[in-house]
Amino acid sequence: MKFDLLKECAGAKRIAISGHQKPDGDCVGACLAVWHYLKQNLEGAEVLVFLEEPDPVFAELCGYDEIIHDFPDQEPFDVFIILDCNLERTGLAAKYANGAGKVINVDHHITNANGCGDLNYVDPKVGAACELIYDLVEADRMDVETAKAIYVGMVHDTGVFQYENTTPETLRKAAHLISYGFDFYRIIQETFYQKTYLQAQIMGRALMESVRFMDGRCVVSVIDRKTMDFYGVTTRDFEGIVNQLRNIKGISCAIFMYETGTLEYKVSLRTDQKVDAAKVAAYFGGGGHARAAGCTMKGTFHDCVNNLSAEIEKQLI
Ligand code: AMP
Ligand code: MN
Ligand code: MN
């Protein structure tokens, strides 16, 4: 249910904010939007953001340099705000829920439909957690930095207002946000489309080595540790590869995997209307949205693909 974020945090002396591991644009935007908004409007409160190190493309968002990347032990917080995920996906930040006066959860993952806080604003129909943050801030207290951070999150989770999670309401909010006058065209280019040469190379390689299966309705590509070391890339450099695989004509389900450890892979799924990606990912202990979801799987690459195929096939027949 919608609430007034400032009222809910009124009187709090120490507030912690966190989002999911491997934070994406929506997660970083949501955390920094809330951080800036609360700093601006809650006098005397200490507001801290705990997140794994985000991609440096987001460095221009206000508060990026203030993000705490390790997760030191802390006295209990008055309020702990969990954005764009459930408690479990905050990883090492999950401990800040212990003893917290109040836990607030704002999310849009269908696999967290009930929320994990004392106070929840969760709507799986909405394209970005940042779109929900927009609802929680008072319009006359929004400034350009809050607007920019919210906009970045909406851009990233809607694929620049292209995916079907984009609604008239999304665009109305975006229209209002760009009226604050930040250079949105540059931000979209630099945070969403632009790739480093290395990122372009690894994407090229992933596309070239991709394999179609199930009569060309699915495609999979994998990057192993050896290849990551060879190119000197980190997992952040894989952003966008799975979306590119989904763009292939005839594909209902695109899968991108990378090796996270011995016989362990992080799996990203992107689908069309025929396949519910969240359902497939949830079966393997992950989650996400209908068209975009992820999970971690154990086994050899072929085991993982076989197991995924079996689940996808149930929906594609
Ligand atoms: P990814 O393919 O990892 O970029 O994730 C696609 C979408 O699924 C994003 O909205 C993620 O937040 C979500 N997602 C990925 N992995 C998980 C997971 N293990 N549990 C819940 N949601 C996930
Ligand atoms: Mn996210
Ligand atoms: Mn999101």
Distance in angstroms (rounded) separating the CA atoms of residues 130 and 30? 5
Interval 137-188: pLDDT, tens: 999 999 999 999 999 999 999 999 999 999 999 999 999 999 999 999 999 9
Query: Ligand 2 center to residue 153 CA distance, Å?
Result: 9
Please give the distance, rounded to the nearest whole angstrom, from the Cα atom of residue 278 to the centre of ligand 2. 14
Q: 264 and 123 share a domain? A: no
pTM (2 d.p.): 0.95
Among 193, 213, 240, the domain-final residue is 193
Task: Give yes or no: residues 183 and 248 share one domain.
Answer: no
For residues 226 and 284, state if they share a domain: yes
pLDDT score of 1? 87
Tell me the CA–centroid distance for residue 107 and ligand 3, in Å.
7
| Whether residues 226 and 283 fall in one domain | yes
Closest ligand 1 atom to Cα of 20: 12
Average pLDDT rounded to a whole number, residues 6-29: 97
pLDDT at site 112: 97
Distances (CA, A) of 72 to 9, 76, 95, 97, 110: 23, 12, 10, 13, 30
Task: Give nearest CA residue, ligand 1 atom 11.
Answer: 288
Instruction: Kindly report the CATH number assigned to the domain that includes residue 210.
Output: 3.10.310.30
Protein residues whose CB sits closer than 6 Å to any atom of ligand 1: 20, 89, 109, 111, 242, 268, 286-289, 292-295
**What is the pLDDT at residue 26?**
98
Please tell me whether residues 161 and 278 are part of one structural domain: no
- Best residue among 111, 258, 270, 276 to mutate for probing ligand 1, ranked by most atoms within 8 Å of CB: 111
> If you measure from the C-alpha of residue 133 to the centroid of ligand 2, how many angstroms do you get, rounded to a whole number?
13
Measured from the CA of 27, which atom of ligand 1 is nearest? 12
- Structural domain that includes position 39: 5-193
pLDDT recorded at residue 314: 96
pLDDT score, position 200: 97
- Does residue 317 have a pLDDT over 80? no
Which of 138, 164, 193 finishes a domain?
Answer: 193
Query: Could you say which ligand is closest to the alpha carbon of residue 287?
Result: 1
Nearest residue CA, atom 4 of ligand 1?
268
Assess whether 119 and 186 both reside in one domain.
yes
The alpha carbon of 44 and the centre of ligand 1 are apart by a number of angstroms equal to 35
Give distance in angstroms: CA of 24 to centre of ligand 3. 8
Q: Do 189 and 135 have their domain in common?
A: yes
Evaluated on CA atoms 140, 144, 150, 154, the torsion sign reads positive
Q: Say if residues 137 and 146 touch (Cβ distance below 8 Å).
A: yes
According to DSSP, the residues that pair with 220 across neighbouring strands are 211, 255
